[in-house]
Amino acid sequence: MSETITIAGIEIPKADWDATPASVQAVVMVLSERLAHIEEQLKQNSRNSSRPPSSDTLSQRQAKPEEPSSSKRRESKRSQGAQGKKGHQGFGFYPVEAAHLHHHIPERCRHCGEGLSGVDEQPHRHQVVDVPPLSLQVEEHQLHQLTCECCGKTTRGQFPPEVPTTGYGDRLVSLVGLLSSGEYRQSHSMAQSLLSVVFGLELSRSSIHRMRTQVSAAVSAPVAAAHEYVQSQASVHSDETGFPQRNRDGANPQGRKGWLWVLCAPWVMVFWVSLQRSQQAAKDLIGEGFTGIVHSDRYSAYNRLPIHQRQVCWAHLKRDLTQIAERSGVSQAIGTALLARQRRLFRWWHRVRDGTMIREQLGEAVAHLRAGFKAELESACALPIGANETSALAKSVSTLREILKVEDALWTFVDTPGVEPTNNTAERALRSGVIWRRTTQGSQSTAGSEFVGRILTVTTSLKAQERNAWDYLTQALRAQRLGLPAPSLLPLPKPQDLPMPLALPQA
């Protein structure tokens, strides 16, 4: 049987290939490399790249291979539907105290017609939840002017401090800000239409813009305080995604691409739009004197941090290893072997989260796996790859060499309490910003970017703390108008966390 070689997935007799002119061979090799690159791009999805799951096609979703049985999620024993959330007591009943009661008591037996008496201690309950007609509350303030009989000069009454001078109340302005947030993502025209339909309120787009500006200014100080709070934490999650900023105010004449950064701590998430995706931007976000641990991907902007202050995300790593394993030949063997170790590591980590394994046991179990993982990386990185080689194997080796540089940062979570192996917290926090970017195509100016960062910080942090964002924005606007400190975005202490008084007050 004649010897064959494989070019672009096609087997060709070696004798025919050797007989092909060198110039034709060069063209074929270049075209085969381009074809391999295009095929790899077409195969990219949320499992083997940084693309979001929403970008997956139907065929890609259906073609997702099942994980081995040992790594499958356990079936939940909980029933479907709300699980003990507010307003979901029993089978969706609201508290009796919140309802207008209507008693329907039968007067006669439906079987024999005899009159009925007595009391049903446990009547059948049926609740109807509806929204009453909404109308605007208009308060008119008339400033009277009187003339002094002594000097003949006039004096006009003054607005009390609690009366807004803009013509729009705090709750209305805060509602416009909330509708424009990443939580609801209403454009100027959409918010304008919604307020007209629901309240019969006619607002211009410029009025909506001014209200957004008011909200942004009102939360500026608490957002800055929240940023300082996150920078003081022992462990944070950081990530970034594209967020275009136009040049309407002349602040971006070069048309540079904007980036939405996020820095997450428990209960508080800080967002920031910057025209830079650099080490300086990461330093400004995280803080130059930060001494904790940063969860992140392998982006070079985080390389300024010492390796012991980093936890590189295993979810990003898994996607890279999956992409390598989906290639052919040596790449496939390397990627498959590394993925097997990654799955074993996460089985142990899930046990730590479930409480069936303590961290000391995890450290002992990971020691051998880590040594094997690093040995596999070093073996792959030692493969002879040309400096300008662009083959699939060369791409794989290049990725693995980048991973080997930060290998120590893959295992910080093993023996550090409060540290997780993934950066999913930051990725989940960015999700609303990503959707907002799709619907708005970014901001138009620096002020617009400031509003995006501040309102995302407010709504995301308050949602994590289960606080009402509408009430918060209303209080912030009122505080700004009265010259008072704005309410804090930091987590409020729970009653059980408050210190006990040293002595009971005297009766």
Q: Give the model confidence (pLDDT) of 174-208 as tens digits.
A: 999 999 888 888 888 999 999 999 988 999 999 99
pTM of the model: 0.79
pLDDT value at position 501?
46
pLDDT tens, residue by residue, 381-437: 988 877 777 778 888 889 999 999 999 999 999 989 889 999 999 999 999 899 888
Class of residue 51 by CB neighbours under 10 A (exposed 0-12, middle 13-18, buried 19+): middle
pLDDT value at position 227?
96
Higher per-residue confidence, 441 vs 498: 441
* For residue 333, pLDDT beyond 70: yes
Residue ranges in 141-293 assigned as alpha helix (H): 170-179, 188-199, 205-218, 220-231, 279-286
| Boundaries of every domain in the chain | 169-296+444-489, 314-384+393-422
* For residue 506, pLDDT beyond 50: no
Helix axes 188-199, 170-179, angle to 10 degrees: 130
pLDDT value at position 502?
45
pLDDT value at position 338?
94
> b vs e for 454-464, b when ≥16 Cβ sit within 10 Å of the residue's Cβ?
bbbbbbbbbeb
Q: Which tokens belong to 347?
A: 């089985």
Percentage of the chain exceeding pLDDT 90: 54
pLDDT tens, residue by residue, 68-105: 444 445 555 555 555 555 544 445 788 888 889 999 99
Identity at 314, one-letter amino acid code = W
pLDDT value at position 28?
73
* For residue 504, pLDDT beyond 50: no
* For residue 18, pLDDT beyond 90: no
3-state secondary structure 86-151: CCCECCCECCHHHCCCCCCCCCECCCCCCECCCCCCCCCCCCCCCCCCCCCCCCCCCCCEEECCCC
Closest CA to 220 of 492, 482, 473, 493: 473
Cβ(357)–Cβ(380) under 8 Å?
Answer: no
Q: Which are the contacts of 156, defined by CB distance < 8 A and separation ≥ 6?
A: 143, 144, 145
pLDDT value at position 495?
53
Helix axes 446-464, 220-231, angle to 10 degrees: 60
* For residue 369, pLDDT beyond 90: yes
pLDDT value at position 16?
74
Q: Which tokens belong to 370?
A: 């880590």
pLDDT tens, residue by residue, 429-471: 999 899 888 888 889 999 999 999 999 999 999 999 999 999 9
* For residue 243, pLDDT beyond 80: yes
Element holding 272 (H helix, E strand): strand 268-274
pLDDT value at position 74?
54
Cβ(181)–Cβ(459) under 8 Å?
Answer: yes
pLDDT tens, residue by residue, 351-368: 998 989 988 889 889 999
pLDDT value at position 160?
87
| Whole-angstrom distance, CA of residue 13 vs CA of residue 19 | 10
* For residue 500, pLDDT beyond 50: no
Cβ(157)–Cβ(145) under 8 Å?
Answer: yes
Radius of gyration from C-alpha coordinates of the chain = 31
